[in-house]
Structure 1
Amino acid sequence: MTPYRGVRYHLKEYSTRAPQNAKELFSLRHASLRNAIERASGVLKKSFPIIRSTSEPLYYCETQSDIFLSCCILNNFLLEEDRDRDLEDEVKQEVLHGPQEEEGHNARNVHDGSTEYEQLRNSIATNMWTNYMMYPNTEIDMSK
């Protein structure tokens, strides 16, 4: 699912002003989630060549999902059991700072622009906004 067009998207844009409407809140959360996923993927790609390799055989989606989940489980296990401080510090740096966002990155979904897709995205954004307005103090402060 893509963020709304023409709405602030990059996390830095929310450091001085909180979301003003449902579309901005949706885009903020979309950017935050995308950032977390990219950081986690980066950590796993460093540790598990099967994820980063482009020469491996192509797997069915279910198999790819199983491989990714297995790597997540192994990564968490190794972090608990192997207290190699250098490795742990490297992982923490990657998680905290992660890869920089690419400027002008426009991920497109094949359903972008369809009425059904827009209705679903609008419904999600409206629900997020309603909860955000009802419980404003539970939101993460992006200015810190």
Structure 2
Amino acid sequence: MSDDKLVIPTSRYCLVDAGLPHTSTLMTPYRGVRYHLKEYYTRAPENSKELFNLRHASLRNAIERAFDVLKKRFPIIRSTTKPFYYCETQSDIFLACCILHNFLLDEDRDKDLEDEVLHEVLNGPEEEERHSTTGIREGSTEATQLRNSIANGMWTNYLMLKDDEIDMSK
């Protein structure tokens, strides 16, 4: 049995960056294919892999913005060193912060906080994560087939509903 504590339910997967291995439970973007949102402002996706990477990047960007808002509003989740809490307690703290944040959105919306985070996302220094991939091989055939199937399904829908898509070049 593995020492890995991350358990992903069957038929589910996590979207992760390219620094991690592509497996049937960890879905990475396609390597060597346009990925960053800025790259799509001048030219729309031209194939299923580019569309998959665009949507992967968009989702990851939205998640990172949400975490930034939470970290600015609740300093307790900003620090990873002190004080130390067990993993279950950290999970409870994070959940409580999410609940409080959602409550405060209705009761006491902090427009300055939202504007500050949006400004940092749009104008802040671009920090690309770099991870060592030494010894990590691209995922199994099954994992690659799953990602290809998802990408091809997205591409088919994109072609059929192209007028409904957001034009990243404008």
Q: TM-score range by the shorter chain?
A: 0.7 to 0.9
Unmatched tracts of structure 1, length 5 or more: none
- Match runs of 1:94-109 below 5 Å: 94-95=117-118, 97-98=120-121, 100-103=125-128, 105=130
Deviation at 1:97, TM superposition (A): 4.6
Matches of 2:160 and 2:131 in 1, distance apart? Answer: 32
Partner of 2:115: 92
Aligned pairs, number: 138
Instruction: Kindly provide the CA deviation profile for residues 12-52 of structure 1, in whole angstroms up to 9, marking residues without a partner as x.
Output: 11111110000000000111111111111011011123322
**Is the 1:79–1:88 Cα contact (8 Å) retained in structure 2?**
no
- Does 1:48 find its partner at 2:71? no
Q: Cα distance 1:77–1:15, how it changes in 2: closer, same or farther (>3 A)? A: same
Matches of 1:79 and 1:119 in 2, distance apart? Answer: 41
Q: TM-score, normalised by structure 2?
A: 0.69
Q: 2:103 aligns with which of 49, 70, 77?
A: 77
Matches of 1:137 and 1:47 in 2, distance apart? Answer: 38
Matches of 2:150 and 2:93 in 1, distance apart? Answer: 30
Deviation at 1:71, TM superposition (A): 1.9
- Does 1:141 find its partner at 2:162? no
Matches of 1:95 and 1:72 in 2, distance apart? Answer: 18
**Is the 1:40–1:95 Cα contact (8 Å) retained in structure 2?**
no
Question: Whose helix proportion is higher, 1 or 2?
Answer: 1
- Match runs of 1:4-43 below 5 Å: 4-43=30-69
- Does 1:120 find its partner at 2:146? yes
Q: Detail structure 1 runs of 4+ shifted over 4 Å in the superposition.
A: none
**Is the 1:25–1:125 Cα contact (8 Å) retained in structure 2?**
yes
Q: Cα distance 1:78–1:104, how it changes in 2: closer, same or farther (>3 A)? A: closer
Q: TM-score, normalised by structure 1?
A: 0.80
Partner of 2:24: none
Q: Which amino acid aligns with 1:14?
A: Y
Matches of 2:125 and 2:57 in 1, distance apart? Answer: 12
Deviation at 1:3, TM superposition (A): 0.5
Give identity over the alignment, percent: 64
Q: Which amino acid aligns with 2:163?
A: N
Partner of 1:131: 157
